[in-house]
Amino acid sequence: MKIIVIGSGLMGVATAYYLSEQGHEVIVVDRQSGPAQETSFANAGVLHPSQASPWNHPGITWQILKWMGKENSPFLLRPSALPSLLSWGLTFLNHAKPENFQANLRVNTALANYNIECVEELQKNHPFDYSAKRLGSMKVLENNQDLENAKEQIALFQAMGIECQVLNQAEVFSKEPALVENGSKLVGGIFYPKDQTGDAHQFCLKLVELIKRKQVQFIYDLNVDEFSLANNKITGIKTNKGDYSADAYVLAAGSYSPLLVKSLKLKLPIRPIKGYSITLDMDNWKLKPKMPVIDEEAHVAITPLGDRLRAAGTAELNGYNLEINAQRIRLVLQQVIARYPEAATNIEDADINPWTGLRPTTADGVPIMGETPIKNLYLNTGHGHLGWSLAMGSGKIVTDIITGSVPDINAEPYALARFLK
Ligand SMILES: Cc1cc2nc3c(=O)[nH]c(=O)nc-3n(C[C@H](O)[C@H](O)[C@H](O)COP(=O)(O)OP(=O)(O)OC[C@H]3O[C@@H](n4cnc5c(N)ncnc54)[C@H](O)[C@@H]3O)c2cc1C
């Protein structure tokens, strides 16, 4: 089969890998000049089955209202974005009900656990360097109530196959000695030994190198303008470089996926949630952090990636705006200063490499993968804040669906059909 994959971010590249493993003729197209130039470029770098919860958790409504319009809040809804969020927003809030949240958490966790198996298999068969570490991750806690809640939630995590240990203050500092004890507000933490880290951009570059050798073709600087449709089948894509056609098409265009299928009268409940990252060299750090530290309250993760430190997070509903807002970058930088004050005192603006990306976020917090009502159009999109934790598992599942194999995990919860009922 000849298959066109639209998008060379994590989802497009992972899907192309598995399709090529099955011997299909694959063409990946992207409007950028290389792979993973958009949201997959500089994310927080954590593959974390432990944090697969959708952002629409019980309590999110009050948090959003409390923070609305506040420039320094971790989750910022800009009033100007409201008109684009109406029906998506209602579904988003409906899924914050405890029973919906729990169900969505379970399906994301199942996919994230499966993803780790896929990543390990890839690394066994094709070892390549992407600054990967398998040292776990640690969520840090600054108040005693959160620590008590963490102890109560351990059984729930374990039931979903997530190993974790609640740590007291001393154990946190012994697990990550780079965290500075003096003046720290930390009261404890949760350690997730199975989480991994790695540079998503580097990963995509290496995977592209690998699959190019298997004859996967990449066409860059190619903007897909629209699909051509006849008899409920895609007959081609119209692009700035002319028309292309194939037997099947995979849409992996991240936050832009809903825009591309509008003319097909297909509604994808995905909206962009903006986030930021900074990346610093740690050459002069005396004690370098070794594992990612996550502050859920601040929506920020700080991750060592080789000799660099990546801090990423915050969430902003602001449409497709991609401006770098200095105040939001400052929020991320403040987290680095709070956790590693000695090493971070001399950081200059010129050292931080600010970046922003749009998380393709579905209304229920679960990605959309597989078939559409259009015969030969498939989706691999909507992975929100979890794309790095879900990419390889998603690529494998979408490939299984296209090729008629039974996916290793139940793919029904990820189907677009759930929104079409
Ligand atoms: C600040 C931040 C931190 C994050 N941290 C983590 C983390 O630690 N762990 C985790 O699991 N996830 C994390 N994520 C989420 C993760 O990065 C995303 O879910 C993932 O990158 C999405 O990948 P994608 O392939 O769907 O989209 P993208 O990477 O955006 O790829 C889509 C591609 O489609 C192309 N495209 C779009 N429209 C067109 C068109 N019309 N024609 C041609 N090409 C087109 C784009 O150029 C792009 O290359 C984070 C995200 C952000 C923003």
Q: Which domains, and CATH codes, for the chain?
A: 2-40+202-267+364-420 (3.50.50.60), 49-96+126-196+271-362 (3.30.9.10)
Span from the CA of 340 to the centroid of ligand 1 (angstroms): 29
The predicted structure's pLDDT at residue 156: 85
Tell me the per-residue pLDDT of 25-54, one tens digit each, with 9 for 90 and over.
999 999 999 999 999 999 999 999 999 999
Q: pLDDT, tens digit, for every residue of 166-214?
A: 999 999 999 999 998 777 789 999 999 999 999 999 999 999 999 999 9
Burial of 145 (0-12, 13-18, 19+ CB in 10 A): exposed
Give me the long-range contacts of 83-86 (CB less than 8 A, separation at least 24).
Answer: 84/271, 84/319, 85/271, 85/317
Ligand 1: which of 29, 33, 37, 40 to mutate, judged by most atoms within 8 Å of the beta carbon? 40
Contact between residue 310 and residue 303 where contact means Cβ atoms under 8 Å apart: yes
Give the chain's end-to-end CA distance (angstroms, integer): 31
In this structure, of 11-25, 96-110, 174-188, 325-339, the range with the lowest mean pLDDT score is 174-188
Percent above pLDDT 70 for the chain: 100
Atom of ligand 1 nearest to the CA of 381: 26
Contact 146, 416 (CB under 8 A): no
131 C-alpha vs ligand 1 centroid, how far in Å? 19
What would the pLDDT profile of 74-93 be if each residue is shown by its tens digit?
A: 899 998 898 889 899 999 99
Q: Which residue lies with its CA nearest to atom 35 of ligand 1?
A: 7
What amino acid is encoded at 13 in this protein? Answer: V
Tell me the two tokens of residue 237. Answer: 């894509």
272 Cβ inside 6 Å of ligand 1: no
Average pLDDT along the chain: 95
Q: Which residues contact 381 (CB under 8 A, 6 or more apart)?
A: 11, 251, 252, 253, 254, 257, 268, 270, 360, 367, 368, 369
Tokens 């974790």 correspond to 164
Ligand 1 atom nearest the C-alpha of 32 is 47
Give me 212's structure tokens.
């190019």
Q: Is the CB of 201 under 6 A from ligand 1?
A: no
Average pLDDT over residues 219-224: 98
Is pLDDT above 90 for 343? no
Query: Residue 347: pLDDT band by 50, 70, 90 thresholds?
Result: confident
CB-ligand 1 contact for 256 (6 Å cutoff): yes
User: How far, in Å, from the CA of 376 to the mean position of ligand 1?
Assistant: 23
User: Ligand 1 centre and the CA of 367: distance in Å?
Assistant: 12
| Any ligand 1 atom below 6 A from CB of 311 | no
To test the ligand 1 pocket, which listed residue (243, 256, 299, 305) has its Cβ within 8 A of the most ligand atoms? 256
Closest to 227 in 3D by CA, of 14, 417, 8, 4:
4
Q: 30 CA distance to ligand 1 centroid (A)?
A: 12
Read off the pLDDT of residues 367-407 as tens digits, 9 standing for 90 and up: 999 999 999 999 999 999 999 999 999 999 999 999 999 99
Q: Find the 199 Cα to ligand 1 centroid distance in Å.
A: 13
Identify which of 98, 85, 120, 9 has the alpha carbon closest to the alpha carbon of residue 53: 98
Please work out whether the CB of residue 299 comes within 6 Å of at least one atom of ligand 1.
no
Structure token digits, residue 285? 């750090």
How many Cα neighbours within 13 Å face the side chain of 284? 8
List the alpha helices (DSSP H) in 314-353: 326-339, 341-344
Distance CA 297, CA 291 (A): 19
4 CB-contact burial (10 Å; exposed 0-12 / middle 13-18 / buried 19+): buried
Ligand 1 atom 27, closest CA: 254
